[in-house]
Chain A
Amino acid sequence: AQKVTQAQTEISVVEKEDVTLDCVYETRDTTYYLFWYKQPPSGELVFLIRRNSFDEQNEISGRYSWNFQKSTSSFNFTITASQVVDSAVYFCALVTGNTDKLIFGTGTRLQVFP
């Protein structure tokens, strides 16, 4: 069975702090894809990143970075120098190569205070 766990329900930081959102996944498949989506208060999920199981290279995009470690089944997301506009719910998601179901975690609500 596939599962995504986001143990942090809510995180609060002050602007300019760095923050890491954890994601742990479970699957027996060797081919799978991991995603992060952002859900601002407007409700529309916004795609942030996609990573396949054969590419463990970490990625940086501006203030965002992602650390994929197959050894610990984790795909963590770090925001550097957080801003108020980063306040949202962030979801980690998993799909295996032989299904059409994107499986989401329960999300982490990030609040960035000025």
Chain B
Amino acid sequence: GAGVSQSPRYKVAKRGQDVALRCDPISGHVSLFWYQQALGQGPEFLTYFQNEAQLDKSGLPSDRFFAERPEGSVSTLKIQRTQQEDSAVYLCASSAQRGATYEQYFGPGTRLTVT
């Protein structure tokens, strides 16, 4: 079956532009997570959805970051007025179980470069 897919794979944005990153989780997975991975670092939690409900957004670094999952499947991470410090790989993961205590399946990530 299909795994987690993310698009675009690469995105170059000029400082100040808005970007939207898409995640297609594995069909039927109730949990969806977004992570930010800076170069040479481990992924850092951004936000968690259980179906369409955003249960935890404590990792979003500023109010320029917004995520949604309106129908409980596809999710979009939006970054407004991008800054250079937003340059990173954004990873999406999904899980068949509720919460983060079970195996997560990761997508290939979107590499965002802000110039």
Pick from A12-20, A61-69, A79-87, A96-104 the stretch touching chain B: A96-104
- Given A102-B33, A103-B45, does the pair A43, B101 have CB atoms closer than 8 Å? no
Q: Mark A39-79, 1 if CB is under 8 A from B, else 0.
A: 00011111100101000000000000000000000000000
Chain B residue numbers with a CB within 8 Å of A45 are 43, 91, 93, 104, 106
* Given A101-B56, A106-B42, residue A44 in contact with residue B102 (CB < 8 A): no
Closest B residue to A49 by CB, please name it: B103
Task: Name the residue on A nearest B42 (C-beta).
Answer: A104
Q: How many residues of A contact B (CB 8 A)?
A: 25
- Taking CB atoms, residues of chain B closer than 8 Å to A105 are 42
Q: How many residue pairs at the A-B interface have CB separations less than 8 Å?
A: 62
Contacts of B105 in A (CB 8 A): 47
| Interface residues contributed by chain B, number (CB under 8 Å) | 27
**Minimal beta-carbon separation of B58 from chain A (angstroms):** 8
| CB of B105, distance to nearest CB on chain A (Å) | 7
- Tell me the smallest distance from the CB of A63 to a CB of chain B, in Å: 20
Q: Is the CB of A91 within 8 A of B108?
A: no
Which B positions have Cβ atoms within 8 angstroms of A?
A: 3, 33, 40-45, 48, 55-56, 58-59, 89, 91, 93, 99-109
Closest 5 CB pairs of A and B: A104-B42, A45-B106, A100-B48, A101-B45, A95-B100
| A-B contact list, 5 entries, CB within 8 Å | A52-B101, A95-B101, A100-B99, A104-B43, A104-B44
